[in-house]
Every structure is written in structure tokens, then in C-alpha cells.
């Protein structure tokens, strides 16, 4: 079943007074199936973040549309957007975006509290997730008291506690040391194995090599995509690296 469908997406930023039109995305189309783990790769300025912002409904496309489980994001009222985002999407950010004023437990509870859930239900939901993330012992700590890797795991817990249809991750390993990054990627793989659909934006080859499919964007356009097939992580890594070389040396994309 297709969970996310992106059709002919384009985004043009217009400078003040209509001057300086900048095309951030041009005619991007792809789809994500239920249970897939997709990585989107590209250099800085290639349009990755714009794409993610549109998928998360933080931004609206100039052309094209995004369907989540067949529902057009553009059809959602501004007032319902927050609730939609809360219930259907989970976010993991590069800089964690945990609130300093909450301990980890309350940070994870935040979307549930916003959704009006009771404490007992929240605690029940948290227990297995926290165990899985390995943060059960540090739930009472504040973000400034734990390591980057722990912070990011708490952020993942916050993202998945609502049971989102799609987990969106924006450079999740960007601020982590390599060991924590590896741990997080294993976590993502495990999450995916248990059925979580994941869409991750990254320019880390290592991170992307865990994904089932990698989509490459260059200058706002879909450039290429590779499927894992039966490849191991190492083989996947090699294929991604090759594609990136191609990308950098200016070859034409193909599907």
C-alpha cells in the first residue's frame, strides 16, 4: 500500500518585489510504500530541506501535490494542520529540538499531552518505547544532563509515541559522534523492521546505507534512486558512494 505519494512537486521562492525567483524544487515525483525505509540524499542546497518541509506541511508547494494515505495535504485546513502533524507524522531533527524546560519523559509526552491524552495511557505507551530506545533509566533527566545520542533517542521516542504513519527524519545523525550515529541507525533499522515507515533526509553516506531505498536529488530535481535489493549495508554504501561521485562529476541522472 502506498503511504506517501509525491506528484510533480515544485517550489519557487520569490524574492521581494518579484525579483530573484529561485527554484528550490522542480517536478519531483516519487512514492513511499507502507513499511519502507527511504533515504533522500543530496548536497547542501539541493532542495532536501525544502522537500522535507513540504512533506511535513510546514511549507506549501508551488506546483504539484503531496498525498498522505491518499489525502492531499493541501486540503487540510490551517487549523487542523497541527493536529494532523501530531497524529500522522513523527519528526526527528538534526539538533534534537528537545525542550530544556522538560525532562526527557515530559519531552516525549509532549505530543500526547497536546493531543489531550491522560497520564495513564501516556505512561503505558512510553514504557515499551523507552525500553526499546534504552532510555528507561534516564527518563527523569533533563536534556542538558544527557549525551547527544541519548537526546536523539529521546527525540525518536517522542516522534514514534503517537504511532505516526510516517517518521520524517532530517539529518538525524548530523550532530552525533560516529558511535552514537551507528547506534541510532541500528535503532531506525529495528523500528523499520517492526513496520514503521521512515523517510530520512541525510547527506551521510553511512546513514543512508541503512535505508531500503535511496533517492538522490540534485539542484531541486530527482536525479537517481537505488534500491537495496539483497545488498548488505557495505555494498549499499559502495553503491551510494559511486552515485555521489557521479553526481559530483556532473553525470546525467537516470532511473
Partner 1 sequence: MNKHLYGRLARQNLRKNFRSYGPFLLASILTVAMFYILCSLSVNPGLEGTFGGGTLGVVLALGTCVVGLFAVVFLFYTNSFLVKQRKREFGLFNVLGMEKRHLAKVIGLETLYAALISILLGLGTGMALDKAMYLLVSRLIGVPVSLGFFLSWKVMLATAGLFAAIFALIYLNSLRQVYVARPVELLQAEHAGEREPKAKWLLALIGLACLGAGYYISITTTDVLQAMFLFFVAVVLVIVGTYLLFTAGSVAMLKLLKKNRRYYYKTRHFTAVSGMIYRMKQNAVGLANICILSTMVLVMVSGTACLMLGMEGTLRSAYPYDVANDYGNAETGDMMRRALTDAGFTIENEARYTYMDAAAYRTGDDFSMYMPENITSWEEFCELFIVDLEDYNAVLGQSESLAPGEILLHIERGGAIQTDAITLFGRTYTIQKQTDLTIPYSGMLTNINNAYCLVVADMDELRALDRARYEQLYGMNTDMEPYQPAYSEIEMYSGFDIAGGLDEELRAHEVIERAWSDAAQEGSGVRLAGSYNIRGWERQFFVQLYGGLFFLGMFLGLLFTMAAILIIYYKQMSEGRDDRERFQIMQKVGMSRLEVRRTIRSQVLTVFFLPLAAAGVHMAFAFPILYRVLRMMSMYQTGTFLWCVLGAFGTFAALYAVVYSLTARTYYKLVSM
Q: Which residues bind partner 1 (CB under 8 A)?
A: 58, 78-79, 81-83, 85-87, 91, 93, 97-102, 106, 109-111, 113-116, 118-119, 122, 142, 144, 158
Q: Which residue's C-alpha cell is 533499522? A: 189
What is the distance between the alpha carbons of residues 10 and 50, in angstroms, rounded to a whole number? 10
Give least dist CB 230 to partner 1, A: 37
Of the pair 142, 237, the CB lying nearest partner 1 is at 142
Of the pair 130, 222, the CB lying nearest partner 1 is at 130
User: Could you tell me if 224 and 253 are in contact, meaning their C-beta atoms sit under 8 angstroms apart?
Assistant: yes
Give least dist CB 16 to partner 1, A: 17
User: Could you tell me if 133 and 186 are in contact, meaning their C-beta atoms sit under 8 angstroms apart?
Assistant: no
* Cα radius of gyration rounded to whole Å, the chain: 18
User: Could you tell me if 66 and 72 are in contact, meaning their C-beta atoms sit under 8 angstroms apart?
Assistant: yes
Q: What are phi and psi of 159, to 5 degrees?
A: -70, -35
**Crossing angle (nearest 10°) for helices 148-160 and 104-114:** 20
Of the pair 22, 113, the CB lying nearest partner 1 is at 113
CA angle 244, 38, 180 (to 5 degrees): 80
Of the pair 79, 249, the CB lying nearest partner 1 is at 79
Give least dist CB 126 to partner 1, A: 12
Give least dist CB 166 to partner 1, A: 14
Residues pairing with 167 in the sheet? 90, 198
Sign for the CA dihedral angle at 26, 42, 33, 68 comes to negative
Give least dist CB 97 to partner 1, A: 5
**For the chain, what's the residue count?**
255
Of the pair 7, 106, the CB lying nearest partner 1 is at 106
User: Could you tell me if 169 and 199 are in contact, meaning their C-beta atoms sit under 8 angstroms apart?
Assistant: yes
Of the pair 37, 109, the CB lying nearest partner 1 is at 109
Give least dist CB 158 to partner 1, A: 7
Amino acid at each position: 500500500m502506498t503511504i506517501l505519494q509525491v506528484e510533480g512537486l515544485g517550489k519557487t521562492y520569490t524574492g521581494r518585489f518579484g525579483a530573484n525567483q529561485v527554484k528550490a524544487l522542480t517536478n519531483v515525483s516519487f512514492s513511499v510504500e507502507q513499511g519502507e525505509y527511504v533515504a533522500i540524499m543530496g548536497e547542501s542546497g539541493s532542495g532536501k530541506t525544502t522537500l522535507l518541509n513540504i512533506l511535513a506541511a510546514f511549507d506549501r508547494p508551488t506546483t504539484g501535490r503531496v498525498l498522505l494515505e491518499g489525502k492531499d495535504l493541501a486540503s487540510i485546513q490551517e487549523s487542523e494542520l497541527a493536529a494532523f502533524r501530531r497524529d500522522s507524522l513523527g519528526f526527528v531533527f538534526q539538533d534534537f529540538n528537545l525542550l530544556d524546560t522538560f525532562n526527557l519523559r515530559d519531552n516525549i509526552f509532549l505530543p500526547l499531552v497536546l493531543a489531550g491524552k491522560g497520564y495513564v495511557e501516556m505512561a503505558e505507551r512510553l514504557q515499551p518505547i523507552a525500553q526499546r530506545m534504552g532510555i528507561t533509566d534516564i527518563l527523569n533527566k533533563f536534556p542538558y544532563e544527557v549525551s547527544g545520542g541519548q537526546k536523539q533517542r529521546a527525540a525518536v521516542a517522542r516522534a514514534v509515541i503517537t504511532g505516526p504513519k510516517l517518521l520524517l527524519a532530517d539529518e538525524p545523525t548530523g550532530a552525533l559522534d560516529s558511535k552514537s550515529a551507528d547506534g541510532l541507525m541500528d535503532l531506525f533499522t529495528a523500528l523499520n523492521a517492526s513496520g514503521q515507515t521512515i523517510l530520512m533526509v541525510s547527506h551521510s553516506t553511512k546513514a543512508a546505507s541503512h535505508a531500503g531505498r535511496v533517492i538522490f536529488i540534485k539542484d531541486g530535481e530527482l536525479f537517481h534512486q537505488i534500491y537495496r535489493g539483497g545488498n548488505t549495508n557495505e555494498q549499499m554504501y559502495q553503491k551510494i558512494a559511486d552515485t555521489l561521485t557521479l553526481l559530483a562529476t556532473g553525470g546525467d541522472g537516470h532511473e
